[in-house]
Amino acid sequence: MKKIIALALAVIMLLALVACGTETFKCEICNKEKESSVNEVELMGKTYKACDDCYKGIDEGFDALGDAFDL
């Protein structure tokens, strides 16, 4: 019986994580443990998991590149 309760709790926790969309993961851009939504970024044909901060930075970086090369 205790196992079933533990399983139910695990499922609820999992659902809660999915619902709020954030999890603790290691950002592959800044190499820090971050609690944020996981953003998938494709750089040089490889896919990286990026935290919100890095994702924003990369986005702005691309904008800056676009301005620099008049794209």
Binding site for Zn ion (CB under 5 A): 27, 29-30, 51, 54
Which tokens in the block code for residue 44? 């040089």
Please state, in angstroms and rounded to a whole number, the distance separating the CA atoms of residues 27 and 11: 25
- Between 7 and 47, name the residue whose CB sits nearer to Zn ion: 47
- Between 10 and 30, name the residue whose CB sits nearer to Zn ion: 30
Taking CB atoms, the residue at the shortest distance from Zn ion is: 27
Which tokens in the block code for residue 35? 């609690």
Task: List CB contacts of 53: < 8 A, sequence separation 6 or more.
Answer: 30, 34, 36
- Between 14 and 56, name the residue whose CB sits nearer to Zn ion: 56
Give min distance, CB of 28 to Zn ion, in A: 8
